Every structure is written in structure tokens, then in C-alpha cells.
Chains A and B, each alone.
Chain A
């Protein structure tokens, strides 16, 4: 192997190592930052047999149960229940709710699962022009006989 060839081989392998490292780094970062979408019943019963882990970052979409919004009188802390077709989960949020947040309305929250049925949300989104339900939620709920937000309260343990 002549020196020139050797040099080239070295350069190519260096580039390969760097590229592999970069891809690995990127996939790792990606794995940390993908937020999977769940509905409340998927959180409780599992999605395709897989339940989300406590501590996992995720997005959840459901209907805000009527009468479940509880505000702290002195701060902006707020709790509310979310439901789709089955069990409910509770969402806590600290801050200003979106302009279009309503009881009985479909919302999507992004945050961490802190207990089996409890989410600390970092962000709450509501859409309310002609769409009154986020498409992902509608897709998850379509065609299923669901529990109405107003009736969901009766199921509460």
C-alpha cells in the first residue's frame, strides 16, 4: 500500500466514523424527543398491548370532562379530567390555558406521565374553528360508541 493510498484510506475511515457517530447521536436525540400520541384509554389499558411508562413524555388527546376543571384560587394551576371511550385520566397544568379551552371540548396536551393516570402537561392545545376536535383524536374515536363527557363523571371511582 503506497502512502497516498494509506492516507486516503485513513481519511475515508475517519469520515465514516464521524458520519456513524453523527447518525447515532441523531437517532439517540430523536428517540428522546419523539412524543407518541395516546388517548386516555390507551394510557390506562395500553396501546397495542403496550402501556406508557411512568415518566415518559407523551401527547394525549381527549375530551375535557364537564365539571372537572378545578382552578387553584390563588395561582394559575389547573386540573382537569380527560376522557375518550373508557377510563379517564387527570391532567395538571400550570399556566394560561389556550383561548379556546372549554369543558366538553377536545384538546391535546403534551407532557410527562407522572402517575399511572396522571399527566403533568407542559403545553395544552385546543382548536376550535370549524374543527372542534383534533384530527388525531377524531381518528382514535371514530365510530366507537364513546362515553359522553357529561356522563363520564358517573364512572369515577
Chain B
């Protein structure tokens, strides 16, 4: 019964979305206040009905209601209750329900937090969100309804959740990622509303910035979490695989990062308007494209239930309408935009142009690498795959100039920067970074060019960032007072850039100095790797709630002292009939020790994979720093739009609430 209620609730949400797509837009066109005023209650209605539908599906999972097809496909009575609840987004239909739920959350957030935005503009934004929402809800109800029943023949037990997804990382990874993906829909709606109204001034950029930041923060965290999960769960010790699913999330991130920077220029200097709008549209379009690639069946297993091209067609039609429509609107309206500001070759504007060019190039590289196998096959040239080395190589080439500009950007002034002053700073940063990196590189046991390059780059960012902060506070005389004067958004930028530096160190060290060995070991054997002794104590059988398997017990010694005791598991999930490797990891600031159990060999021996991964935690720590930087920027008072609205509902968007705690903030930047 609840499943039918959920279905009905979704239909109501669709109706609300249709009204939301019509009334406010019409009202804005005609200048009718009554019609525009419907936007907020309608947005709240869409959210409430979607939330109720989501609750119904969760309940069906919790109660093991296998008459619901989706539950039967993705859950099992043996599954622990918390995984039953997260199994809601374990498959196609449910994850799409989560997607629309998050979409409605963002819509409500716009409705609630934007009371300072002109009524007409807000009505347009919400109307466009409603329009996009209609597409989502229609797709959901027509082509992937999670509430479909398996009656009268329903199975006694479900087929279980994909074991890869039975992990803590997977509980929060998809919601975070979707928060990011769908968050760009808000930015998209702002851009389209501005294009329709023909009002692409700097206020538009200012309104969009916090939403871009919020979406970007979620996406950053989501991607980092996904990478951490892959490292832990796939048993290969890799943290990024360049597979299409990862690439699909990486492209919106790259464009989102470019957008963050370009919005800053548009807001402060009123230039690059048409470019910024294009980025705002692309960020959301790439999110949708990512969804299409992942969900259409082009990539999924053909034997599961997605063997139905109508779904893919529907998504493609949706893409054509949303992306094609918005790009057409862009092509018609953007030529009318005029940028008025003037700037010189050496100026912050130019640095940020460089940043945008490089980030866009990176996006194109990823897009090309992801789509080329498809294009190649469709042209009848045979089946190919683009190897990870291609991406690695291209990203090394792109990162070096990117980092070079990254250090120069904040040090430069808008409009025009004196070359000699910048040169002095850069010379110093260059000297320090190269000599420090060489010192560290030569001091270590083995010299690696890539690791040294990575160190140069990150120290270069570090030194330039310190110089920039010093330059900022120099004007105010006393250092402490100067530091207090810096805005949270400025600290956000500093932290974001430092986070990137930390990440580069992690990546450079892991790729250059990782040590790995695949070994054959019998109980009692031990091996040495990077100064650590790994001794296999034994391999014992294992029995879990929905799996059986083996566990290898490994003791690790360093300098004769016992360091840790690791248990690496190999699980066989009985219902899904798949094997999972649960690696055991000794976590450290400067290195991870990683043990994965392989196959059983003869004579009681086992194949084991042992890794020493230096500084790998720094990769995710860097991402976390970037996200914290984003939160700091978001907390800046300038972006707070409605103080009253914020008081009313801090719980929904905690980032917005931090500003009040920041005390007195003066605008120190230009």
C-alpha cells in the first residue's frame, strides 16, 4: 500500500513541478505578482511530495517488501538494516529517486534563501528549475518507476545489494555526489533566467557564486570519497582509475572550478560575461551527460534489468531539450553581451583566463578520452580503450602551467600588475621551491623527477600563498590586525589553493614512491618491503551475515617492533555470487601499509598483495582542505542573502549559518 502511496506522491510532485514551470515564468513575463508568488509554495510542495515518496521506498526496503520489484532486485533479508536503507540508491530507479529528492531540496533552498533577490528574477529561476524538474519526474514515472510491483509472482527473497556498495563510503558517496551534480542545476537556472531576462550584470554573478560554491563543495567531497572508497574496496591500491563513471563526475568538477574563478572576474570586473554563462550552462550539462553515460545502459551490465533502450532514449531526449535548448538560447542571446572592463596582459584577469583555458582543456581531454571508445566503435573502426597513461600524461602537461598561473593569480592586481614587483615575488618563490624540492629529493634514498616536480609545484604554491597573505596584511601595519581584516572568502581561497598543493604532494609521492609486491606466502612466511616486515600468521575461514570467505592475518613489524595486526578479507557473497576483496590498511600520515588477499594456491600458500603507499592520505586531505576552503568562502557575509530566512532554517544548509560566528568582517579585497 505504501508503495502505491509513494507512486501517487511522485505523480503529485510532477503536477506541482508542472505548475512551477508555468505560473512563475508566466507571471514574470506578465509582471503578475500573484503568479510569481506561487513559486515558493510550489517549490516546497514538490519537495514534500518527493520526500514522502522517498520515505515510502525506504520503508519498503526496511520492511523487506519484495513485492516491489526494485526492492527485490537490490535487497535481501540477510542484509543488515543500515545497508537496507542505503540500498535505496543501490540501483538505477532508487538512485534516480535520490537524485530528484536532492533536486527538490536545492529548489526549496533557492526558494527559501533568496528573498533578497528581485521577485521577478527569483520567479524565473524557480520556474526554470520546475521546467528541468518536469523532465526528471516524467522520466522517473514513465521509464524508471521504483515502485513497480512484482505481482502476483514475487520472490521470497531479494537478489541482494551489489557487494561493492556494502560499505560505509558508499553510504554517503552517492548523496554527496548528487548534491554536487544537481547543485549545478541551480547555477544553470540562474544563468538561463539571466539570459531570458537579458540581465547579465555583475549582480547575476554575485547571486550565482554561493550556489556554485555549495555545489562545488559537495562535488569535491563526493569525488574524494569515491576515490577513497575505490582505494579501500577494489583491492588494487589505486585511488583513481579514469574509468567513465569517475570521469563523468570529474568533468563537472573541472568546469565548476573554472566557473568559480570566472564568476569572481565577472562579479568584480564585469568582463567575460558570455564565457561565464557558458561555463554555468556546461557544468550542469556535463552533470547530465555524466548521468546519461552512467545510467543509460551504454555502460551497465546488459544482463541486469536495464536492457531497455527506451530509458536511454528518454534521457537523450531530455538532454537534447535541456542542453540543446539552453545552448541555443545562449547562441541567440550571448552575442548581445558586452564586456566593458579593460585590462592589460599582466593582470589578474589574464591569469584567470589562463586558469579557465587550462581547466577547459582538461575537461576536453577527459571528455575526449571518455567518448572516443564510443565514437571509434560507432565509426566501425573497432573496439578500443583509452588507457590511463593518456590521462596521466595529459594532466601532467596541464598541471604545470596551471600551478604556475595559480601562484601568480592571487599575487596580481586587477587591471594591471607591475611586472617587476610580480617578478620579484616569483623569483623568490621559484628559488625557494626548486632548492627545497631538490634538497628533499636528493636527501631521500632514490631520486625521482616526477616527485621532485610535484614538490616544486606544491612548494611554489605554498610560498606564493604566504607572500600573498603577507602582501595583503602589510598595508594595515600590525600583523595581527591585518590577519583579522582578511575576509573568510579570502581565507577560503588560501585554503583551497593550499589544499591543491597538499593534493599534488600526495599524488606525486604516491605515483613515484609506491612500492608493491604480489607474493606467494604460506602461514609463517614473511617478506620485507620498504623497511617493514609483513608476516603471515595464517588464513582462516570467515562467515558474515550474507557472505563467507577467508581472512588473512598479517603482523607487521618495523625495526623489530610489532607495529600492527592486519586482517585482509576475501569475501564471497552468496546471493550475488560475487567475490570481494576487503583490503586491510594500516593508516599513517606519511604512508599507508596495504594488504590484500588474493587467490589460494597449492600447498596451503596464498597469493597476497602488499603495498606501501607514501603520502596517499594527502590526496584526500587536500580535497578536504579545498572543501573547507569552499565552506569558509560560503560563510562570507557578502553572500548572505536573507538574514531572516537563514534564521528560520539553519538546519538545511549549515554552511550558510557559519557567517554569524565569524564576527566583524570588513571587506579587504579590492
On A, residues with C-beta under 8 Å from B are 22, 25-26, 29-30, 32-37, 47, 57, 59, 71, 74-76, 94-97, 99-101, 110, 128-131, 135-136, 139
Contacts and interface: CB of A to CB of B under 8 A. Distances in A.
A99 B368 contact: no
Contacts of A130: 301, 303-304
Contacts of B394: 26, 29
B390 A30 contact: yes
B172 interface: no
B382 A33 contact: no
Nearest to A132: B303
A96 B382 contact: no
B396 to A, nearest CB: 10
For chain B, which range describes its interface: under 10, 10 to 19, 20 to 34, or 35 or more residues?
35 or more
A37 to B, nearest CB: 4
A33 B372 CA distance: 12
A47 B381 CA distance: 11
B372 to A, nearest CB: 7
Contact of A99 (B304, B384, B570): B570
Given A35-B384, A37-B382, A29 B518 contact: no
A76 B519 CA distance: 6
A129 B577 contact: yes
27 contacts: A29-B390, A29-B393, A30-B368, A30-B372, A30-B390, A33-B390, A35-B386, A37-B384, A37-B385, A76-B607, A95-B518, A95-B609, A96-B598, A96-B599, A96-B607, A96-B608, A97-B607, A99-B570, A99-B579, A101-B599, A110-B385, A129-B301, A129-B303, A129-B577, A130-B303, A131-B302, A136-B383
B82 interface: no
5 nearest A-B residue pairs (beta carbon): A96-B598, A33-B390, A99-B579, A37-B383, A95-B518
Given A76-B519, A131-B302, A33 B386 contact: yes
A139 B581 CA distance: 30
A135 B302 contact: yes
A80 B301 CA distance: 27
Interface in B268-316: 301-304
A125 to B, nearest CB: 11
B171 interface: no
A136 B384 CA distance: 10
Contacts of A95: 518, 609
A38 to B, nearest CB: 9
A79 B386 CA distance: 26
A147 B481 CA distance: 81
A35 B382 contact: no
B416 to A, nearest CB: 15
Interface in B543-594: 570, 576-579, 581
A99 B581 contact: yes
B605 to A, nearest CB: 9
Contacts of B302: 131, 135
